[in-house]
Amino acid sequence: MTQLREQMIRAMELKNLSANTQRTYLSAVTGLANHYQKAPDKLSKQMIEDYLLYLKNEKGKCPNSCASALSGMRFFYNHVTKKKISIDYSLTRKVRNLPTVLLQEDICNIINATSNLKHRLILMTTYSAGLRASEVIALKPKNIDSKRMLIKVKGNLPAIRIKDSRTHFLQKHGWSACAIL
């Protein structure tokens, strides 16, 4: 084991990093050293940047993998070497996709696609209150306050107001009719 590796392991243990983090950081610095066939403390900032671009563009590593490698290199250069190299990059940019918004006509078609009153009521409640699938699964009749048009969702969230009066009417008269849950 090289002296730099021993120093890095010691520094990571002193910082109380988890075993997985230590393994990831060592792998990142080892990959950098193997790529250039040089000790990592002998590399320039330009070489480190080129290696990060190599990981991202040529090896096709995902942004999180590149960020882990970058964190390992940052740790090495900030805590192990005497040569301080500032590595201030962010490789974790992810594209956020907005959800597809359905037209009111599409929502009506989905709700009217079922003839079962229980299923229709579940769909209408889900849509009008904006519930998640897990919230719908956990929903019980006792969680619905028909008088105030509120649904109490499990957890620390406040009650959700029912937006559609037709849903409220069905809930008020439909629970007993369809023997939900």
Tens digits of residue pLDDT in 2-14: 888 999 999 999 9
Q: Bridge-partner residues for 151, per DSSP?
A: 144, 160
Q: Give the pLDDT band of residue 181 (cuts 50, 70, 90).
A: very low
Which CATH architecture best describes the domain 3-79?
A: Orthogonal Bundle (1.10)
**Domain locations along the chain:** 3-79, 104-178
According to DSSP, residue 115 is labeled -
- Quote the pTM value: 0.52
Token pair of 81 as six digits: 């070497």
Q: What is the pLDDT of residue 178?
A: 45
CATH number of 104-178: 1.10.443.10
Collect all residues with Cβ–Cβ distance below 8 Å to 52 and sequence separation of at least 6: 66, 69, 70, 89, 91
pLDDT for 180 equals 40
- pLDDT digits 0-9 by tens, 137-163: 888 888 877 777 778 877 666 666 665
Write b or e for each residue in 59-92: b if 16 or more Cβ atoms lie within 10 A of its Cβ, otherwise e: eebeeebbbbbbbbbbbbbeebbeeebeeeeebe
Mean pLDDT of the 25-44 span: 91
pLDDT at 72: 92
The model's pLDDT over 57-113, given as tens digits with 9 standing for 90+, comes to 888 888 888 888 989 998 998 888 877 777 777 766 667 788 888 888 898 899 889
